[in-house]
Amino acid sequence: MRTLKKISALRTECGKAVRPLVLVPTMGALHVGHAALIRRARQIAGEEGTVAASIFINPIQFNSSKDLALYPRLEVADRRLCRELGVDILFQPSAKEMYYEDCSVFVEEEVLSRGLCGASRAGHFRGMCTVVAKLFNLFAPDAAVFGAKDYQQLAIVRRMVRDLNFPIRIIEHPTMREKDGLAMSSRNIRLSPEARKVAPAIYQALLRAKANTGSPHQVLKKLRRDLELIPGVRMDYVECVPAISPESATHWLQSTVIAVAVFLGEVRLIDNIRIPQHRPNSLKKAANCSQA
């Protein structure tokens, strides 16, 4: 595995890499979810192809300096895991390497970014799109793997690739969960023991919402109530949106995603669940899903 910190070295390495080159962008503190993405990248790249990963805690996608400072950093363990997983190129730049002090060009998606995490984290998706666009330019990958856990991010990356004509296939990988159902996240290690104990209730509530045959309005109301019952929880949002994009919600006729964000203590957790297309008893009870 080649570990690179400089853009010039990365460009050289990618220039001579055997194709296809498949990229997994991350912010580090790697867990089994990231590992699954890297394994998927290897499947796509094949034995001969190149698997690349980036580890970069992107300062411009954090809207709170405290959140940025507290984001877990496990550089040595991350490098070891990448090596074990057969990553060929690991890019671990500093913020200085990635951004000129006077950088003044950013990439902004203007529709899908409005709701959900975009509403509660001002500037988050502008920062995410900018860094992902830069990584796409630097690696020039043939494909990139993203997790379904960050559902809105995935939809926005797909839109960016479409609208800016990046010749890159975006691969979605399902959300990886702990045995008790909690979606794996780098932030989970910051949960207090009490919060960790109750955190699986988020996914349990989502599963109940999926089984609930009521109207979208009823389902979201019950889900909100279920989430509010979790000790120590503070709600950020509970929404349902069409599975194809987080743009707006109509009704159960389309495949829908229910997405939630909650705080447990100081830790913000997101999760989502896909509701399949057929909800026969609510076809006409339209559509009180919130606009994303």
Tell me the closest approach of the beta carbon of residue 61 to ligand AMP, in angstroms. 9
| Contact criterion met (CB below 8 Å) for 161 and 43 | no
CA angle centred on 251, ends 253 and 151, rounded to 5°: 95
**Does 146 engage in binding with ligand AMP (CB under 6 A)?**
yes
Nearer to ligand AMP, 183 or 249 (CB): 183
Which of 89, 101, 128, 100 lies closest to 112, judged by CA? 128
Query: Which residue is nearest to ligand AMP, using beta carbons?
Result: 147
Rounded CA-CA distance 50/17 in Å is 6
Which of 216, 241, 237 lies closest to 111, judged by CA? 241
Rounded CA-CA distance 184/16 in Å is 34
**Does 56 engage in binding with ligand AMP (CB under 6 A)?**
no
| Contact criterion met (CB below 8 Å) for 37 and 8 | no
**Does 261 engage in binding with ligand AMP (CB under 6 A)?**
no
Count of all residues that appear for the chain in the document: 292
**Does 128 engage in binding with ligand AMP (CB under 6 A)?**
no
Hey, which residues between 170 and 229 contact ligand AMP (CB under 6 A)? 173, 175-176, 183-186
Active site residue 34: yes
x/- mask, ligand AMP, residues 30-49, rule CB under 6 A, reads: ---xx--x------------
Marked catalytic residue, from 31, 34, 124, 251: 34
Instruction: Give strand pairing partners of 242.
Output: 256
Near ligand AMP by CB under 6 A, which window of 9-17, 109-117, 118-126, 142-150? 142-150
Residues at the contact surface with ligand AMP, assessed by CB under 6 A: 26-27, 33-34, 37, 146-147, 149-150, 173, 175-176, 183-186
Please give the positions annotated as active site: 34
